[in-house]
Amino acid sequence: MPLKYKIFFFLLVSTPLFSQKFQGIAESNYAGTIGVFNNPANVVDTRQMVFINLAGVGIDYQSNYVRWNAPFSVGKMMLGIVPEEYKNSSNGKIIMKDSYNKTNNNVQNVAAYLNGAILGPSIGLDIKKWGLGAAGGIRYRYLNSISNTDPSIGHSLVHGAKSKELIGQNFDNSSIYFNSGFFNELYGTLGKVIINDEDRLIKIGATAKYLYSNSFGSIVGNNFSFKLDNNSIDPTLNELVLTNVTGSIAVASLFSTLDKSNFTSQLTALNGLGKGIGLDLGVVYEYRPDYHLFSRNRKGKNYTDPTQNKYLYKISFSVVDLGFLKFSDPLVNVNSLDGKTQTINFGDIRKFGGIEKLIDDLEGVFGLGKGATSFNILMPASAITSFDYKFSEKIYFNLTYRQYLLPSARRGVIGHSGLSFTPRFEKKMLEFALPVSLDNNFRNFNLGIAMRAAGLYFGADNITGLLNTFNPRGASFFAGAFIPIYHRLPESPLKCFEVENRPSYRKKFKLFQKKR
């Protein structure tokens, strides 16, 4: 497979990378510890007394520049069920064509993200008596981005070393930011109900994290000029002429190439070349106009039905992914590219095998030796605001706005902003959700689906890439399993909380009143 497809499919599907948003399930009242990544206050006043997460995995890719334009879907390609007519008859491999990559030439900056998490074992506890919740566990994240990159460079990456469209053209004031890393998070979460005043409830939460990594690489170049020329030795290839490059190349990795063993060794690691700390903070306000329907008083003590969602609506706000890592080790290498002028022969760049191999090739091309042995990076701090409306006992509508807070033109983990609307059908043992979102800084329109049956869930925040609809600019999938131990009703004489015509407050909100 040519270099251009190695790069493209690395960003799309080539490695087992995992989604971090899980938007179709994260705002559910039965999400347990999955919900604390959006807001740590979700750890308290839950439907489960004990929540044991077994595992969760997924994949989520977003691009504003490249659309999938092949006659078969990404899902079929991943499953190896592409029709024979699109394969090479001699070796059975898929025949890839330039026309399968449809580029958007109207963007000012190329942005592609592959951010995610493997949700490892975790446990959550909700103690109603004290209005206290706690959780702890581990999350693995593999975060990749190309951001603030010129479309001309994006064209070169997608169409590769043999493209003739840009030959002889000069491009000034160009830039590229490529960051890739694998991170482990050991986390502990505490949540507390601070106000429980009949028709309103306010709860707060915080998550502290220990962060470590054995694999991170960054390629930064800005304010440089470049052009593509024909290679004098091999006219079928191009060479890239760079002038006055400002930027840096940084790598901190125990690995030399992209391989499955990298992931397994990182999953079992308890330390790293880079170490740091992180913090999430959150608050949730619930409006409960029918609180009395779920409440009983006995001998001066108030009891509420712990099995029911008591709010008409709730508003959540959180700031997540505050944190940093410092990489410091003899294996760390940071080199400046300031003022560099260099011709890169694409024949000197090996087939893509991870950012470590790419950086090794670039260090050889630029003649770079041993540089600095330490650097710092920031995690992708974001603010999340959510509004969840209870239309009926089983129907909910959720609106979530995620705002990335840091610059995208930097070395480090890069995030993106987005807005999602998710109607969902929610019961104790069954749940469906249909997230609709504007993602990748509001540039990608995504349709999703999610389902939960007891403690099993699966779905996609962007199903268009799997089904090959609308020439997708991304794809996602997630699945997982957990063990819930639910709260029970208090013992007699308070075991009955059932009241006829429970949603009486609906009369006050005629806009949302269902027709009969």
pLDDT one-digit tens code per residue, 263-293: 777 787 888 999 999 999 999 999 999 887 8
State residue 425's pLDDT score. 97
Distance (Å, whole) CA 172 – CA 151? 12
**Structure token digits, residue 136:** 């702890």
CA distances from 511 to 7, 508, 515 (A): 51, 9, 11
Distance (Å, whole) CA 177 – CA 240? 17
State residue 461's pLDDT score. 82
State residue 433's pLDDT score. 96
88/37: higher pLDDT: 37
What average pLDDT is seen over the chain? 83
Distance (Å, whole) CA 318 – CA 206? 9
Q: Is the pLDDT of residue 15 over 70?
A: no
Which residues, in sequence order, are bridge partners of residue 175? Answer: 222
Average pLDDT value for residue range 100-119? 80
Confidence band for 4, pLDDT divided at 50, 70 and 90: very low
Which residues, in sequence order, are bridge partners of residue 395? Answer: 425
Average pLDDT value for residue range 430-446? 90
Q: pTM to 2 decimals?
A: 0.86
Lowest-confidence pick of 11-25, 236-250, 308-322 = 11-25
State residue 191's pLDDT score. 98
Lowest-confidence pick of 57-66, 466-475, 502-511 = 502-511
Specify the 3-state DSSP secondary structure of 85: helix
Domains of the chain: total: 1
% of residues, the chain, pLDDT over 70: 83
Q: Is the pLDDT of residue 228 over 90?
A: no
Q: Is the pLDDT of residue 221 over 50?
A: yes
161/445: higher pLDDT: 445
Q: Which amino acid appears at position 324 of this protein?
A: F
Distance (Å, whole) CA 3 – CA 352? 6
Distance (Å, whole) CA 372 – CA 365? 19
Q: Is the pLDDT of residue 332 over 80?
A: yes
Q: Is the pLDDT of residue 11 over 90?
A: no
Average pLDDT value for residue range 193-210? 95
State residue 490's pLDDT score. 66
Q: Is the pLDDT of residue 380 over 60?
A: yes
Confidence band for 435, pLDDT divided at 50, 70 and 90: very high
Q: Is the pLDDT of residue 233 over 70?
A: yes
Confidence band for 84, pLDDT divided at 50, 70 and 90: confident
Q: Is the pLDDT of residue 307 over 50?
A: yes
Backbone angles phi, psi at 461, to 5 degrees: -75, -20
Which residues, in sequence order, are bridge partners of residue 304? Answer: 295
Lowest-confidence pick of 117-126, 331-340, 342-351, 392-401 = 342-351
8 A C-beta contact, residue 205 and residue 46: no
DSSP 176-221: EEEEEEEEEEEEEEEEEEEEEETTEEEEEEEEEEEEEEEEEEEEEE
284/72: higher pLDDT: 284
State residue 477's pLDDT score. 84
Confidence band for 192, pLDDT divided at 50, 70 and 90: very high
Q: Is the pLDDT of residue 339 over 60?
A: yes
State residue 480's pLDDT score. 94
Confidence band for 203, pLDDT divided at 50, 70 and 90: very high
Distance (Å, whole) CA 126 – CA 224? 55
Compute CA 318 distance to the chain's CA centroid, rounded to the nearest angstrom: 16
Question: Which of the listed ranges 84-88, 189-193, 240-244, 346-350 does the model predict with the highest average pLDDT?
Answer: 189-193
State residue 161's pLDDT score. 58
pLDDT, one tens digit per residue, over 400-427 is 999 999 999 999 999 889 999 999 999 9
Burial readout 101-136 (b: 16 or more C-beta within 10 A, e: otherwise)? bebeeebebbbbbbbbbbbbebbbbbebeebbbbbb
State residue 343's pLDDT score. 80
State residue 373's pLDDT score. 96
Average pLDDT value for residue range 366-373? 90
CA distances from 135 to 60, 122, 188, 192, 201 (A): 25, 7, 6, 12, 21
State residue 200's pLDDT score. 95
Specify the 3-state DSSP secondary structure of 508: helix
Using DSSP bridges, classify how beta strands 449-453 and 430-433 pair: parallel, antiparallel or unpaired: antiparallel
90/80: higher pLDDT: 90
Q: Is the pLDDT of residue 16 over 50?
A: no
Burial readout 222-247 (b: 16 or more C-beta within 10 A, e: otherwise)? bebebbbeebeeeeeebbbebbebeb
Domain that includes residue 61, residue range? 3-512
State residue 315's pLDDT score. 98
Q: Is the pLDDT of residue 125 over 90?
A: yes
Q: Is the pLDDT of residue 9 over 90?
A: no
State residue 365's pLDDT score. 82
State residue 298's pLDDT score. 65
Specify the 3-state DSSP secondary structure of 160: coil
CA triple 483-282-274, angle to 5 deg: 80
Q: Is the pLDDT of residue 513 over 60?
A: no
C-alpha torsion sign, points 160, 164, 168, 173: negative
Q: Is the pLDDT of residue 458 over 90?
A: yes
